[in-house]
Each structure stands twice: as C-alpha cells, then as structure tokens.
C-alpha cells in the first residue's frame, strides 16, 4: 500500500481525475477538525474513496507544557468519525510556554526527557484507547544532548510501548546533517515497532545542511535507503508519499507512488523467496 498526503492545494484535481491512485490518504486532523462547508464536502468525497491515515501536528508530545486533553478529545472524535486506520504524531514539540509554534522543534536528548515523553505517549494511548505511531523528525541542531539520538528514540519507544513511524527521508536528512550512517541508524532501530513509513523530498541548502521541505521529488539515495529498510523489515508496511509544497502535476506524483510500490513489491517478493 502506498498512500498520499491529501492536501487542499490539489484536492479538486485529485478528486476530479483518476491520474493519481493512492491506496490511502493521510491528513493532519488539525487541518480538518471542525471544518464545514466546501472543504468538508471535498474531504468527504475523498473519505468515500480512500482509507484514512492521520498524522497530527499540534499534540506536542515532547512539550514541557501540559497535554491538551480537550484537543485530544476532539482528535479522538475525529478518528472515530472518519474511521481512521491510525493516528501518528511527531517526536518533537510544537508548543511551549502555552504558545503554539506551528513547527516541529527538537526535544533535548536527555534521560529526563525520555521519561517525560514516554509517560505522555502512554497517557495519550490510554486516552485514545489505541497505540499511536511516533515519527522521528528531521532536526537541524541538537539541544543540550546527553544521549545519542538512537538511544533516545529506542528508549522512548520501549518505555512508551508505542509504534514507530519511520520517515526514511528524515533519517537520511539527519544522517547528512549530523554526519552518521543512515543505514546503520536504521539497523539499530527497534524495527518490530515500525507501523508506517513516510517518504518525501527535501532541499539541500548548503554543503552541510538539508532542510526537510517536502517540496521536491524523492531523491535516489532516499529510494535506496527505503529499499534497504524494507529488506530489513521483510514485511509489508504502509508507505506514504508526502508532498506539501511546490506540488507538481498529478502524473509526477503518481510516478513516485508507482516507483515506491514497485520497490516494495520487489523486496517483498525477494524476502518471501528467501524465507521459503
């Protein structure tokens, strides 16, 4: 299954032609919660045709602030109403000192943050009565780090007993920005927890920095890393193509979806043979 991030920017074109044929769509609940009128109609048309995956933005799981249970109750209702297959969020914070920032900031890689975040994920899972998938985010600077990134992530996953949203592009971006081996990083992750994969493009802004824009096509080294990840997984996991800016023709998006599907099918065939 390869899905697409459903965006208002291409909603009409998407719904009025069959060029783009994803297996499912993904939205941020924040963008559709409490929305009526024109967009509700469009969204319902999309829901009639495709299963829904959700990927939140504002829960701010890594925040020092209290969890917003009113907001979470709205999310819970949204998940139920739309029959969403899963709810995922970011391993980052987007709210601090009671102010939303509408962006994903990196959590300090510290012992206390591990405990804090793991506890919050557990609380959210209890409240939603379902497991959530947490995404490793791209980051451009460490913040007062005491632990390695891999240690930070694996311990949270274990202590929270949650699922992992593995954004392969984010790992590529982080490996480039922080000079480590992306493949080795993925090999060290607790891969049994991978529930969902994200794939996207990015923008290299200097010799030493990539910004995770979701505004370009996926590059070949990220496809390679994706293939390697699937080989390690040896099982079928839903994959999402994220494209948030600089949206190309529907044909170009479909070509990326097709390429992702082909890689996945190939790897699954190979691993099935290897096992048999």
Partner 1 sequence: MQLLKQTRQYQSDLAGYCRTGILQHIPGIHTSNVVHYRKLVMNVVDDILQNAYPLTYDLLSETEWDSLVADFFSEHSCKSPQVWYMPKELMEYVIDTDHALLKQYPLLCNLLQFEWMETAMFMMQDIPVVHTRNGDLLFSKLVLNPEHRLMALDYPVHRKNPSAIKPEDQQPYYLAAHRDEEGQIIFTELSPALVRVIEHLQERAASIQELYQLIEQDFGIQLAEADHLAIIHFLQQAYREGLIKGFSPA
Smallest separation (angstroms) from Fe ion to the CB of 220:
19
Binders of partner 1 among residues 217 to 276 (CB under 8 A) are none
Mutual angle of helices 220-233 and 168-178, in 10-degree steps: 120
x/- mask, partner 1, residues 121-160, rule CB under 8 A, reads -------------------xxxxxx---------------
> How many residues touch partner 1 (CB under 8 A)?
49
Q: Does 198 bind Fe ion (CB under 5 A)?
A: yes
- Contact status, residue 246 vs residue 215, Cβ threshold 8 Å: yes
Query: 161: phi > 0 → left, psi -120 to 50 → alpha, else beta; which?
Result: left
Q: Is residue 93 close enough to count as binding partner 1 by CB under 8 A?
A: yes
Q: Can residue 207 be called a binding residue for partner 1 (CB under 8 A)? A: no
Quick one: which of 54, 155, 177, 229 contacts partner 1 (CB under 8 A)? 177
Q: Does 167 bind Fe ion (CB under 5 A)?
A: yes
The answer to whether 89 touches 59, Cβ cutoff 8 Å, is yes
Shorter beta-carbon distance to partner 1: residue 115 or 270: 115
120 lines the binding site for Fe ion (CB under 5 A): no
The answer to whether 103 contacts partner 1 (rule: CB under 8 A) is yes
Q: Which residues pair with 52 in a beta bridge?
A: 25
By C-alpha distance, which of 78, 17, 15, 22 is closest to 42? 15
Non-local (6+) Cβ contacts of 150 within 8 A are 185, 188, 189
Question: Least distance (Å) from Fe ion to the CB of residue 81?
Answer: 24
Decide if 264 contacts 234 (C-beta within 8 A): no
In sequence order, what E strands does the chain have? 2-5, 25-27, 52-55, 86-90, 93-96, 99-105, 133-135, 163-167, 194-200, 203-206, 209-211, 239-242
Q: Which stretch binds Fe ion (CB under 5 A): 7-15, 61-69, 197-205, 267-275?
A: 197-205
The kind and range of the H/E element at 73 are helix 69-82
Residue 264 in contact with Fe ion, rule: CB under 5 A: no
Q: How many angstroms separate the CA atoms of 116 and 137, rounded?
A: 18
Residue closest to Fe ion, measured at CB:
198
57 near partner 1, rule: CB under 8 A: yes
DSSP 206: E
Q: Which does 110 bind (CB under 5 to 8 A by kind): Fe ion, partner 1, none?
A: partner 1
Alpha carbons within 13 angstroms on the beta-carbon side of residue 231 total 10
- State yes or no: residue 212 binds Fe ion (CB under 5 A): no
Smaller CB separation from partner 1, 23 or 101: 101
When CB distances are held under 5 to 8 angstroms depending on the partner's kind, the choice from Fe ion, partner 1, none that residue 167 binds is Fe ion
Residue number, 37 or 83, with CB nearest to partner 1: 37
Structure tokens at 231: 């080989």
Binding site for partner 1 (CB under 8 A): 30-31, 33-41, 57-59, 62-64, 68, 71, 93, 95-103, 105-108, 110, 112-113, 115-116, 119, 140-145, 177, 205, 209, 211
């Amino acid at each position: 299954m390869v899905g697409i991030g459903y965006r208002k920017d291409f909603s009409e074109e998407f719904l009025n032609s069959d060029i783009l044929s994803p297996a499912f769509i993904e939205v941020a609940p924040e963008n559709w919660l409490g929305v009526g009128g024109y967009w509700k109609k469009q969204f319902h048309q999309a829901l009639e045709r495709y299963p829904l995956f959700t990927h939140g933005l504002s829960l701010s799981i890594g925040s020092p602030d209290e969890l917003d249970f009113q907001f979470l109750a709205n999310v819970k209702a949204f998940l139920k109403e739309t029959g969403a297959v899963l709810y995922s969020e970011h391993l980052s914070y987007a709210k601090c000192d009671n102010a939303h920032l509408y962006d994903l900031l990196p959590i300090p890689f510290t012992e206390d943050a591990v405990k804090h975040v793991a506890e919050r994920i557990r609380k959210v899972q209890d409240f939603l009565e379902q497991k959530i998938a947490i995404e490793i985010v791209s980051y451009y600077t460490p913040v007062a780090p005491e632990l390695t990134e891999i240690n930070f992530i694996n311990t949270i996953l274990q202590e929270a007993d949650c699922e992992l949203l593995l954004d392969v592009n984010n790992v590529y971006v982080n490996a480039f920005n922080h000079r480590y081996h992306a493949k080795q990083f993925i090999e060290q992750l607790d891969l049994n927890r991978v529930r969902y994969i994200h794939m996207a493009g990015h923008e290299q802004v200097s010799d030493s920095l990539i910004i995770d824009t979701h505004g370009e096509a996926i590059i070949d080294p990220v496809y390679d890393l994706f293939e390697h990840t699937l080989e390690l997984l040896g099982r079928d996991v839903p994959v999402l193509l994220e494209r948030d800016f600089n949206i190309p023709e529907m044909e170009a998006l479909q070509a990326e979806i097709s390429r992702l599907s082909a890689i996945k099918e190939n790897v699954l065939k190979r691993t099935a043979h290897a096992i048999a």
